[in-house]
Structure 1
């Protein structure tokens, strides 16, 4: 058996498959409301369809469709969408009729014990502020702020 140093390897997550109950409804939600780009919509027959969607600025896409997975719809939890301005992103999604939860931030500020307080992290530190939303099937997303710079 050959051993290889993992520093020489490169791993890249490029696609996450989400099971949905209604492909058209999910497609409209992700494109029209959330703002993902439609990359592929391919259906060579009635039993298979792959729809690939990419969040703006992301190197990782999601796939929804028919015949992709036998998992029940809505089981995926806490897919992180990292954004540079959580407040602006949340407002944009609310205007697009996406039900987004209130913004919360981790406490204590310099530790991580799983506790949260309402609102943005007072210092807008990376990885400290969050807001949740779900797709129509209940797959959940967690918006997380990183790289905020006041203009």
Structure 2
């Protein structure tokens, strides 16, 4: 039996601003934007090529360390920069510290946050062999 994590809830204060960032700047696909009632609206978005989605909800709880993996960290950074996302330089971990530049396998990262402080990590995965 497979157990898949399909949806991760992400609380935001402004659904429209968050939707715009994730759709227009980060490049997520909008799967669903629906009002469940006058007080509840759900916006679900999926990263390109992902089987999992995020679900934006009105609220004040922040998530730290949502993680995406990509084939090429440099291409991913360029795409984010081109879409005006405030993203870190490529970094790696060495001696317990974050350092500038690429690291070895599974050790090249980018970092960005949405307007509500939900923090994202983008990690380069090794090429399939």
- Alignment correspondent of 1:48: 40
Tell me by how many angstroms 1:48 deviates.
Answer: 1.2
Q: 1:97 aligns with which of 76, 84, 92?
A: 84
Tell me by how many angstroms 1:148 deviates.
Answer: 4.4
Aligned: 1:85 with 2:72: yes
- Distance in 1, Cα, partners of 2:74 & 2:127: 10
Q: Secondary structure at the residue paired with 1:127? A: coil
TM-score, with normalisation over the residues of structure 1?
0.78
- Higher strand content, 1 or 2: 2
Runs of 4+ in 1 over 3 A off after TM superposition: none
Aligned: 1:114 with 2:91: no
- Distance in 2, Cα, partners of 1:100 & 1:128: 17
Larger Rg: 1
TM-score, with normalisation over the residues of structure 2?
0.91
Aligned: 1:10 with 2:2: yes
Tell me by how many angstroms 1:120 deviates.
Answer: 1.0
CA contact (8 A) 2:31 2:44 kept: yes
- How many equivalent residue pairs? 128
- Distance in 2, Cα, partners of 1:104 & 1:148: 18
For structure 2, which runs of at least 5 residues remain unmatched after alignment?
A: none
